[in-house]
Structure 1
Amino acid sequence: MIFLGVGANLPSPRYSSPRATLEAAVRDLAASGIVSLAVSRWYESAPVPVSDQPWYVNAVYRIETDLAPDRLLDALHRVEADYGRVRGVVNAPRVIDLDLLDYRGICRDGAEKGPVLPHPRLHERAFVLLPLRDLAPGWTHPRSGASIDNLIAELDPGQTARPMES
């Protein structure tokens, strides 16, 4: 399985809300051969690290594609740019963030070409783990072998993520 994390805390120029932006972006990924199979519940989450930024809207999608991990990441970055994402300051507010979380359980440390897999901070983020558990309650971290329930239990208690109303 391939999992994609999506998040935003600013409206985009084309859409009225972060959630609408993210849903449209995932639909646009289909033009690159990336098919959405399922989506978690949507979550509101406090910024990490804690700041006075607006809260984020997050979800996880299970996707399918024939693209290799590096090509998939390139496609995600193209869509982010199309939707107004400007990379600059780390942890800055953003109109869109598309993260490749897990690509069929492959582990890569970044020494080879392409993305680090699984995403290097996914096990530290409530806004990733809670929606991921919605889609894959039996998921285990490909590198550590830890269950998703154990990873959630080990999260910093200061992280806040809660399901949104429909």
Structure 2
Amino acid sequence: MISRKTFVILIAVGSNLPVPGLGTPAEICARALARLDSMGIRIAAISRFYETAPVPVSDQPWYVNGVAAVATGLDAAELLAKLHEVEQEFGRVRRERNEARVLDLDLIDYDGVIDAGPPILPHPRMAERAFVLLPLRDVAPGWRHPRTGQGVDALIAALPPEQVIRLLPGMVSGLE
């Protein structure tokens, strides 16, 4: 668990497409985090993995989502470029917003920096997404939104009820 007093960089990870040779969405998320670690982006903490309905609601398969706190000497733009590089290594092709994907890595917060981008910090839609906020609370329960100052619990309480999220059965942590 990370306290807000430490330097915190938060990355969201998600997948809803299994890939032969890479595994299930949960395995893909875990492998992507291991790949980041092998690139010198140290994984300091990782949330439990959650199953989440697609947002916006669609007939896509459910996602597996988590959040990792990382440590790196990279600046925000360099880190985002590395996240996109890993997505491409795993076969992600960006065509449409909110489409099904083998891997999604998003820079959620870069130690409270507020920047119009690129990259836009904090992530512009993070406060509206249960699939970001619940796993974020696992790794940084004292986190506060850099723009609004709201705590993660207040943001979770304000989420619309149609965002369905549940712990991934059989997994206590994304590290398992």
Same fold (TM over 0.5): yes
TM alignment of 1:145-164, pairs within 5 A? 145-164=149-168
Aligned to 2:112: 105
Distance 2:105 2:15 in 1: 9
Of 108, 117, 142, which aligns to 1:138?
142
Give 3-state SS (helix, strand or coil) of 1:60's partner. Answer: strand
Structure 1 residue 92: deviation in Å? 0.6
1:39-97 C-alpha deviation (Å, 9 max, x unpaired): 11110000000001000000000110000000000000000001000000111100000
Q: Which of structure 1's runs of 4+ aligned residues deviate more than 2 A?
A: none
Per chain length, whose mean CA-contact separation is higher, i.e. which structure has more relative contact order (CA < 8 Å, sep 6+)? 2
Determine the C-alpha separation between the residues in 1 that align with 2:134 and 2:65. Answer: 10
* Separation in 2, partners of 1:34, 1:144: 28
Residue 127, structure 1, aligned to residue 131, structure 2: yes
Query: The residue matched to 1:130 in structure 2 has which SS?
Result: helix
* Deviation by residue 1:101-144 (Cα, 9 ceiling, x = unmatched): 0001100012xxx3000100000000000000111111110011
Residue 14 of structure 2: aligned partner: 7
Query: Deviation per CA, 1:136-165, whole angstroms, max 9, x where unpaired?
Result: 111110011011111011111110111112
Equivalent-residue separation in structure 2 for 1:163 and 1:155 (angstroms): 17
Deviation of residue 32 (structure 1)?
2.6
Trace 1:85-100 onto structure 2 (pairs within 5 A). 85-100=92-107
Cα distance in 2 between the residues matched to 1:14 and 1:117: 34
Partner of 2:69 in structure 1?
62
| Correspondence for 1:41 | 48
Task: Tell me the C-alpha RMSD between the 2 structures.
Answer: 0.9
Percentage of pairs with the same residue: 53
User: C-alpha displacement at 1:14, in angstroms?
Assistant: 2.6
Q: Distance in 2 between matches of 1:11 and 1:153?
A: 32
Give the whole-Å Cα distance in 2 for the aligned partners of 1:51 and 1:117. Answer: 27
Q: Write the distance in 1 (CA, Å) between the matches of 2:152 and 2:101.
A: 27
Separation (CA, whole Å) in 2 of partners of 1:146 and 1:96: 29
